Amino acid sequence: MAGRFWAIFFMLAAVVTVAFTAIAPSYGYWFPGDGQAHTTLGKKIDDLFYLILIIVTVTYIGTHIALGYVLWRGAAIRQDDKVWFSHGSHALEVIWTIVPSGILLFIALYQMDVWRNYRIKAYFPKNTAAVAEVTARQFEWRIRYPAPGKTLQPRPQPDDVYTVNDIRVPAGQPVSINLRTDDVQHAIFVPGLRVKQDAVPGLVIPVWFEVTDTGTYDMTCAELCGWGHYKMKAQVVASSAEEFEAWKVRVAEEQSYDGIPKTPAVAANAGGE
Ligand SMILES: [Cu+2]
């Protein structure tokens, strides 16, 4: 009797999983899906995630059905039946070594394109523009942009534009940021853009992404870097290319303001002083 109970119990796990998978999405209880990754590559990363989720779900259901079946069969065995020992079965060992290895190998090869596209500079989109250098420190993100109309230089220039915890990029085109850190390890993490990269002292790591929708995206530090880790909340703001340039002109003006307003925006700000 107890054997039958556990057989049904484990089968039920499979049934509940199938039911949940079928019903949950329509109630909004589901993983981030279509249209929630706001970068071109992020959508492909989500596809990989779902591929793995499908494999895991099928394996989970299959395992529980098999477990339930074995328990059900076992419950039917009477005390005086001869016991069958399966321990040390060569065929079984080979099967459950080869099948998972095959699945892992498939995932490893299948995701290679996305990985290469994401991490290896030679495979970045051809027209990727380096918009800024992001330097992590204890405990904030310092962002350095080239002056309006100029290109980003490896070393700071006198007319560079700076912000803190505020990354601005143009949307609809591939852009890259050069990630550095002044002190300990930090990690840039923008969930909505599916962008995550460790910042390692001594390295300048280019990170590219193409934001598909204009908007403001939360950014955090994903490396427990010290007591001020929690303060490293930042944002990535994606706007049209024109707005991005206009914003940069305005910030450049504000930073080099010498009391003589050159644009209406700065003049308006200076008016109150
Ligand atoms: Cu940090």
- Distance separating alpha carbons of residues 144 and 157, to the nearest angstrom: 10
Give the chain's domains with CATH numbers. Answer: 2-77+89-121 (no CATH), 126-258 (2.60.40.420)
Q: Hey, how many other C-beta atoms are within 10 angstroms of the C-beta on 257?
A: 13
pLDDT per residue over 37-95, tens digit each? 899 999 999 999 889 989 998 999 999 888 888 888 888 777 777 777 777 888 889 99
Cα of 168 from ligand 1 centre, angstroms: 19
Cα of 229 from ligand 1 centre, angstroms: 5
Cα of 178 from ligand 1 centre, angstroms: 16
Q: Among all chains, which residue has been given the structure tokens 């080979």?
A: 94
The angle at the Cα of 99, spanning 86 to 6, to the nearest 5 degrees, equals 50
Cα of 262 from ligand 1 centre, angstroms: 37
pLDDT per residue over 186-242, tens digit each? 999 999 999 999 999 999 999 999 999 999 999 999 999 999 999 999 999 999 999
What does residue 217 show for φ and ψ, rounded to 5 degrees?
-120, 135
Cα of 233 from ligand 1 centre, angstroms: 9
Cα of 129 from ligand 1 centre, angstroms: 26
Residues with CB under 5 A from ligand 1 (ion): 186, 221, 225, 232
Q: Among all chains, which residue has been given the structure tokens 């955090």?
A: 220
Global confidence as pTM = 0.79
Instruction: Output the six-digit token pair for 187.
Output: 């990690």
